[in-house]
Amino acid sequence: MVVESPNQNRISKTFKNNTSRYLIIITSLFFSFILILNLHRHYTFYSSYDQGIFNQMFWNSLHGYPAESSLASGISSLVVHSQQLPAVSHSHLGTHFTPAMFIWLPLYALFPSPATLIVLQVIWVTAGGLVLYFLARQYLEPLLSLLITVSYYSAITIIGPTLSNFHNLSQLPLALFSLLLAMEKRWWWLFWGLALWTLAIRQDASLALFSVGTYVIFSKRHPRLGVLLCIASVIYMITVVNLVMPQFSEDVSERLLIQKFGQYVDNQSASTVEVLWGMISQPLLLIRELFSPVGATINYLLGHWLPLAFIPAIAPASWMAAGVPLLYLLLAKGMSVLSISLRYTMTVVPGLFYGAILWWSGQGWRNFSQKQEELKPRKLTLGFRRFWIFCIGLSFVLAVNETKVNQALYFLIPDSIQPWVHVSISEQWQRTSQINSLLTEIPSDASVSGTTYLIPHLSGRRKIIRLPQRELRNPDGQVEKVDYIIADLWRLERYQVAFGFERELLENITELITRITANKEYGITNFNNGVILLKKGVASDPEAMKDWLVFEAKLAKILSQESNLG
C-alpha cells in the first residue's frame, strides 16, 4: 500500500475543511453552464422533435388527455409502417411507459413551457451529482469523493444527454444514486419508494434496477433484498411490456422490440418472451451481436470509463451493478444505442460510478462479498491523481465536441467542414426574432404542421404534426387538414448542401407549398427571410407571395445546380 506524502496529507486536509465550498462551486458551475447552453439551444430554435413530443404530452396531460401526443403518433408504427395518419388521441404510453411524468405535472402547471422541461432535466442531473458525492462519502475521503463527483459532471455520458432534448431517463442517475444511498443508510422505507420511482421512469429502467439487485445478491450484503429487487424488476418489465403497453398501442412489439432486437426473430412483431427465446436459441448470433461492431463497442466502453480514469473496467461491482443495462445496449442493433452522448447511456452510468466508489473503498474480485468495515480503502497517489485529472479534462473536451450531435454549441462548432456549414450566434438571434414574429400569428387553439425545429415552440396544443404531413385524425377518427403550415426553409437551404435528408425535405416541402398555393387550398399570409406561414382557405398576401416566388426561384436554381453536380 502506498503511503500518502506530507503534501498529499495537506491537500486532503484542505479538501476536508472546505468540502462544502468546493462542492457548491463545482455543482453551480455545472448547473449554470449546462442550463444556459440548453436554454440558448432551445430559444434559438435548435431543440427538436422529441422536445415537442414531451411538451405536448405534459400539455395534454394538464388539459385532461393523459400522455396523448399527435407528435408521438407521427413516429408510431401505425404511421411509419402502416402508412396511417397521425392521431390526435394517440397515447405515448404504448411506446414508453412513463408514469413518473405525472409526478412533475403540478410543477409544469405553474410554468407550462418547453423550457420548464429543460430546467427540470438539468436540475435532475445536477442533483444526481450531489447525491453521488454523499454516496461516495459513505466509503471515501472528501478528495476522492469530490474527484468522483467532478468525473460525473465531466462525463460525455452526462453532458451529452443533458444538453439534448428532454427525456425521461435523465431522472435515472438521481433516482438510483438516491436508492443506493438509502441502502447504505438502511432507510428501507425510502429505498422502496425510490425503487418504485425508478420503475415508473420508463419500462427499461427496470433493467438498471435488476442490475443493482444482482450486485446486492452476489456481494452478499443484503441477498434477500437483492432477490426481491430482481423479482420485482422482472415482473414489472414482463407485465408492463406484454400486458399494459399493448393496451395503448402496438408500438412496443411492432416498432421498439423489432427495431432493436429484430435480428433475433423472424416476425414483424414480437413479444419479450419471443425475443429472449430468439437470443437463447441462437448463441452464435448472440455472441456476434455482443461484440459487433467492434470499433463502436470499444469506443462506447472507453467513453464510459474515461472520466473515472478507467477504474470501472477493473471494478467488479461496476460490471455487476451496470451489467444488465450495458448488456441490453450491446445486444441491440443500430448505432444510436452505442452513441456515447445519447440518452440510453444514462441507464449504465449509476452502476459504473457506484462500482468505482466500491473499488476505491478496497473492494476487489477476491473480497467481493467482504463487509464494509473489513475493507481497506485504496490510497490515491499523486501520479494517479494527475492522470485522473487529465482523464477528466479529456472527457470534458470530448463531451464538448460531442455537442455537435445535439447542436448545443452550433455557433462555435461547424456542422460540416467540407462543405462548410456554420450559423453564427448573431445571425441566428436575428432569425429568432423573425421566426417568433410569425409564430405569434398562429392562434393557440389552431392545428398546425411545422418543420422539426419549430415544433417544440408550437407543441403546447392538441393538434400538431410535422411537415410534410398536413392531415391528421381527430379524436372522432375523422380526417382533418391542419389550419396552419409553417416552415423554416432558410434552415433547410443552409444545411442541405451537406446533409441529404435536409435536401430531400427541402425539395418535398417546396413542391408541397407550390402545389397547395396553386390550387388555392392554402394561402401564404407571411414570408420573412426564408420562413413561410400558410393558412388554410385564404388568399395569399400579395407581398408575401412575391417574396416567396423570389425565394422559390433561388431554391430551384440551387437544387438544380447541385442535382447536375450529383
> Distance between CA 230 and CA 235 in Å, rounded?
9
Q: What is the mean pLDDT of residues 98-102?
A: 93
pLDDT tens digits along 345-365: 999 999 999 999 999 988 766
> Distance between CA 174 and CA 541 in Å, rounded?
52
Yes or no: say if 200 and 380 are a contact pair by the CB < 8 Å rule.
no
pLDDT tens digits along 6-25: 555 665 565 566 788 899 99
Out of 68-82, 131-145, 158-172, 435-449, pick the least confident.
68-82
Closest CA to 203 of 100, 310, 321, 308: 100
Q: What's the confidence (pLDDT) of residue 366?
A: 62
Q: What's the confidence (pLDDT) of residue 2?
A: 38
pLDDT tens digits along 102-146: 999 999 999 999 999 999 999 999 999 999 999 999 999 998 999
pLDDT tens digits along 189-238: 999 999 999 999 998 899 999 999 999 998 888 889 999 999 999 999 88
> Distance between CA 158 and CA 163 in Å, rounded?
9
* Location of C-alpha cell 403550415: 485
In 437-473, which positions are buried (b, 16+ CB within 10 angstroms) versus exposed (e)?
ebbeebeeebbbbbbbbbbbbbbbbbbbbbbbebebb
pLDDT tens digits along 161-188: 999 999 999 999 999 999 999 999 999 9
Yes or no: say if 324 and 214 are a contact pair by the CB < 8 Å rule.
yes
Q: What's the confidence (pLDDT) of residue 1?
A: 37
- Rounded alpha-carbon distances, angstroms, from residue 187 to 20, 191, 318: 24, 6, 23
Better-scored residue on pLDDT, 17 or 417: 417
| 3-state secondary structure string across 105-127 | HHHHHHCCCHHHHHHHHHHHHHH
pLDDT tens digits along 266-303: 776 666 677 777 777 777 877 887 787 888 889 999 99
Within the chain, what is the greatest distance between any pair of CA atoms?
Answer: 84
> Distance between CA 137 and CA 27 in Å, rounded?
16
pLDDT tens digits along 26-57: 999 999 999 999 999 999 999 999 999 999 99
| Domain range annotation of the chain | 6-45+91-404, 425-443+483-565
Please say if the pLDDT value at position 341 is more than 80.
Answer: yes
Question: Using 50, 70 and 90 to split pLDDT, how confident is the model at 565?
Answer: very low
Q: Enumerate the β-bridge partners of residue 535.
A: 484, 523
> What percent of the chain clears pLDDT 70, i.e. is strictly above it?
91
Pairing mode of beta strands 471-473, 464-466: unpaired
Yes or no: say if 520 and 541 are a contact pair by the CB < 8 Å rule.
no
